[in-house]
Chain A
């Protein structure tokens, strides 16, 4: 004899829709690289620009700064170039690109069952430690990216594809810096 289960409340179904989708495997790196190469090519082909990320974040920071302290923005030459006077720092191609990147990342995570509130970390550090180091690493990365006028997306991928010497030098420096320090921070990841 079968018994009818009581009707479930709405929330678990929603949770299943968002968080508990079947998790798919990552695509093979060469395939991912090939697809990324097509995206990169399409960007250059259609628009003349490559990809980017740190520039969009930069403009967001300057936008907020301009809201809070516009006089300061007008006095610092680096900020002035982006938001001096009534220039809108968000009025730039890279801002919709970054917005699209967030949405695309979310969409892929959702469709492939990888939307999860979790912290990825090495086995020998705590979650809190990971958060701290993520913030510290992010700060260092953010600083370096603006110094280099771009990050792995804007300089390495984009500049690399069009064979800019500075971009290739940058790319080797990034890998060099990371490999050089890897041994000393191995506890974070291993």
Chain B
């Protein structure tokens, strides 16, 4: 596993983890203040083109962090799948943003800067924070009236610009850097015209910074982003033994017991061919060919319930094992393989089934060893055995592993 981000709660416990967040917050507040963001008139000046500090600080910080993040991801040091990417709720995001823009120019702050201002005893900052608390309270009271819209309109999940434009990560990083540099240049011209600023007094170092950012973006392109195969190769020493020691293959009896266990959020992924899936599949299993799994990963990473357990299945175990590797390489936690696959499931639960006829076939080639007279999918008793009718012996293997040991990223 890439070493970062760190599993802080497991590593140092919650109190120390919260201390680390407090230290990060301290640095955040400190940098905001030394940039002048405790002063509302400086913040507002952005919108009259006189002093574009807001633009410069915000976009510089974004591109610096972005280049560093994706360079570290490319080098395999930072696991992007464990980095919080704000889920996209397009319409509530845009409307909320417009409203925030109004609040910004009327009040002169955003929430973060208002905290810094209040902390330095600026009375307008304090009033803004109080107003902010009130506005938040109002939202809590009124959200229920448009709850459906707020939770579904324009929901695209974990959706990056790379996903949207179908461009490689490095190219997007370079485009964003170039866009930011263009905005800085434009901003300086506006400051010269509207703010009467003498650009010759600006530090020449900024051109070096621009060059460094561009080089950084080019480096990200050059390093590339890890493929699934590369990610698996890095994990193989730690994870392959789990497969070899049969620690992640669960007996059909355990799967049946889990289906009745309310404390688990069970997700069944059937990675066989569509034909096999249509002939017979376990009730509740979704059909996802192995090649489609990477596209499914962002959906699996967007804040699933902590008790989510994924069980992949094929006819025997070959395709399911491939699927397991893909999911594990993508940092999906709690993935298990159905031991013996659908064939073993039918062997146990379909023994009295008249519709399924066992077909002798070479074992282990991951083909379905039963024939069915019709493709009825899960409309068979064997697809949904009644748990209390079966007393099966097996070694239980499911152990819930914490995916994120904090309540996810995101503001609130």
Contacts and interface: CB of A to CB of B under 8 A. Distances in A.
B111 A30 contact: no
Contacts of A27: 34-35
Interface stretch (B120-128, B280-288, B337-345, B393-401): B120-128
Contacts of A78: 139-140, 143-144, 147
B119 A106 contact: yes
17 contacts: A26-B34, A32-B36, A39-B24, A47-B17, A47-B20, A50-B84, A57-B133, A98-B115, A100-B21, A100-B23, A135-B128, A144-B97, A149-B96, A157-B61, A163-B162, A173-B97, A179-B47
A161 B93 contact: no
Given A36-B35, A142-B133, A142-B134, A116 B105 contact: no
A149 B93 contact: yes
Interface stretch (B2-10, B250-258, B362-370): B2-10
- Classify chain A's interface size: 35 or more
A141 B58 contact: no
The DSSP consensus for interface residues of chain B is helix
B330 interface: no
Contacts of B40: 120-121, 134
Contacts of A159: 85-86
Interface in B131-183: 131-141, 143-144, 147, 150, 156, 158-164, 169, 172-173, 176
B130 A189 contact: no
Nearest to A42: B24
B135 A189 contact: no
A171 B140 CA distance: 23
B44 A47 contact: no
A54 B97 CA distance: 13
- Classify chain B's interface size: 35 or more
Contact of B90 (A53, A169, A176): A169
Which of B18, B103, B125, B407 has its CB near the most chain A CB atoms (within 10 A)?
Answer: B103
A41 B65 contact: yes
B97 A133 contact: no
A50 B116 CA distance: 18
Nearest to A76: B144
Interface string A49-90: 111111111111110010000000000111100100000000
A137 B120 contact: no
B26 A107 contact: yes
Given A37-B65, A65-B137, A138-B107, A147 B150 contact: yes
B62 A137 contact: no
B110 interface: yes
Interface stretch (B66-74, B238-246, B351-359): B66-74
Contacts of A121: 40-41, 124
B132 A54 contact: yes
Contacts of A180: 101
Contacts of A135: 107, 127-128, 130-131, 134
Contacts of A32: 31, 34-36, 53, 56-57, 60
A77 B147 CA distance: 9
Given A55-B410, A119-B123, A105 B116 contact: yes
B29 interface: yes
A108 B33 CA distance: 6
A38 B24 CA distance: 11
Contact of A170 (B35, B82, B97, B137): B97
A156 to B, nearest CB: 7
A137 B205 CA distance: 37
Given A93-B406, A181-B105, A141 B132 contact: yes
A13 interface: no
The DSSP consensus for interface residues of chain A is helix
B195 interface: no
Contacts of B24: 39, 42-43, 46-47, 51, 97, 100
Interface string A15-52: 00000000000111110111111111111111111111
A27 B42 CA distance: 13
Contacts of A51: 24-25, 28, 112
B35 A40 contact: no
B406 A104 contact: no
Contacts of A150: 86, 410-412
Interface in A135-190: 135-182, 185-186, 188-190
A181 to B, nearest CB: 5
B65 A44 contact: yes
Nearest to A123: B41
B47 A33 contact: no
Contact of A54 (B52, B57, B408, B411): B411
A141 B122 contact: no
A133 to B, nearest CB: 6
A162 B99 contact: no
A22 B89 CA distance: 46
B118 interface: yes
Which of A39, A103, A107, A121 has its CB near the most chain B CB atoms (within 10 A)?
Answer: A39
Nearest to A173: B97
Contacts of A130: 124
